[in-house]
Structure 1
Amino acid sequence: MNKNKESGKQTQNNKANDSNSNKNKELQKLVQNNKHFEFLSSGKIKCILTHHEILPTLQEFTNYLNGRSYKNALENEIEFTQFEPYIVQHKTDKNKLFCNLTRQNISKKKSVVLKHVNGKRYKYYLSKYLEEQAKEEQENQQDNQEEEVQNELEELNNLVNEEEQEHQPKKQKSGILKGGKKINKKKVKPQQEEQIEIEQTVQNKSKVQQKDGKQVKKLKNKQQKGQVE
């Protein structure tokens, strides 16, 4: 009789263990297939939406899935990053967002955020912002085109200057090569200087002739006076 009782208890324990192992496998599948939950190192299950920790049992997990907190979190689930950079996470309050366009704080709820982005005020500031961005891009493109044109003109001017320098007569320290002969720069004088020198020589000659004429007249007068005496 005792042996029969012990064997019956063992079979019951085996069945309980089998059911527990089956439940654990089912729990693992449920957690792995749901992106909102993860296993912690402590063995507990954490809800990513609500940050709530759950005991690792199938009953506790199913109770939480059917609870109000998870359903509300699931209803308000939304990827808020899709509205960046116009709507971003609030700097100090993790439960709020901040709109860079309207400068407003927004509750971190799906219904509130969708109402905000579909409102007239948000759409107005968004259109203004996009117009300014398009205008700045157009101005930047024009500036870039003007710089490119200016650079091309400078390159052309440099090429022209190089060609002109190549076609100019070669220069040396002692003189200029002209007709295959070397002429000293010091001996070459402008035409104006030559003309001035010629005029000065003519004037000097005329002055000398005038002096000579006066001296001849004086000699003639002296001779005439000597003859009279």
Structure 2
Amino acid sequence: MNKNKESGKQVQNIKVNDSNSNKNKELQKLVQNNKHFEFLSSGKIKCLLTHHEILPTLQEFNNYLNGKSYKNAVENDIDFTQFEPYIVQHKTDKNKLFCNLTRQNISKKKSVVLKHVNGKRYKYYLSKYLEEQAKEEQENQQENQEDEGQNELEELNNLVNEAEQQEQPQKQKNGILKGGKKINKKKFKQQKEEKIEVEEEIQSKQKKQQQDGKQVKKLKNKQQNAQVE
């Protein structure tokens, strides 16, 4: 009887040990496959989100996974900076975010933020903003191109003017006017002579008119003297 009891206890211990071994293996697998947990040197399990330490048993671990503290931590396990500059940290409330597009305060929770960025209102204002940015960028590029074209034109004009100034003395020596036309010396001489003739003719007429005026004045004086006599 005693031998049978001892053998029965040994079998039960073996089963318990096997069960514990299986549980330990399952626990190790769960911890290794979850990026939020790690084993400490003390044997305990640490949650990297909440920094909470858990006893290394399958039951304790499962209880913590289903607890409110861990669920809230997972809910907020997101890099909210990925939504910047459209969604930024609220200036006064650390538990809220602020949307620069819709001008709304947003609860700092993963589900709330994802719902907001996938909403029609957010997408509408985002598309409008991107359109305005693209239009402004296009206008700036066009203005820059126009400015570059104007600068190139001014530089070209300056080069042409400098070249003309350098060539002008030589052109004048070669009988070329500033406008680029060659001087016809024969025609120029003829025009100059015609101009002199016209000036001489005008002077001659003016002298004749002066002489005629003097003669008329003499005749009037004679007539007046005759009437007096």
Relative to the length of structure 2, the TM-score reads: 0.54
Relative to the length of structure 1, the TM-score reads: 0.54
Match of 2:88 in 1: 88
CA RMSD after TM alignment: 4.2
Residue 201 of structure 2 corresponds to residue 199 of structure 1: yes
TM superposition shift of 1:70: 3.5
Distance 1:209 1:68, change over 3 A: closer
Counterpart secondary structure, 2:105: strand
Residue 167 of structure 2 corresponds to residue 167 of structure 1: yes
Q: Which one has a larger percent helix, Structure 1 or Structure 2?
A: 2
Counterpart secondary structure, 2:41: helix
Structure 1 gaps, min length 5: 1-23, 38-46, 48-56, 171-175, 180-189, 215-229
Partners of 2:70 and 2:88 in 1: CA distance: 24
Which letter does structure 2 place at the counterpart of 1:198? E
Structure 2 gaps, min length 5: 1-38, 176-191, 217-229
Q: Deviation string for 1:53-87 (max 9, x for gaps)?
A: xxxx875xx89966532431123211100000010
Match of 2:129 in 1: 129
Partners of 1:191 and 1:96 in 2: CA distance: 97
Partners of 1:201 and 1:192 in 2: CA distance: 14
Identity of aligned residues (%): 64
Distance 1:90 1:207, change over 3 A: closer
Distance 1:196 1:104, change over 3 A: same
Counterpart secondary structure, 2:169: coil
Distance 1:197 1:34, change over 3 A: same
Distance 1:177 1:27, change over 3 A: same
Return the match for 2:41 from 8, 26, 31: 26
Partners of 2:119 and 2:210 in 1: CA distance: 111
Partners of 2:194 and 2:91 in 1: CA distance: 85
Counterpart secondary structure, 1:88: strand
CA contact (8 A) 1:27 1:58 kept: no
Counterpart secondary structure, 1:26: coil
Match of 2:115 in 1: 115
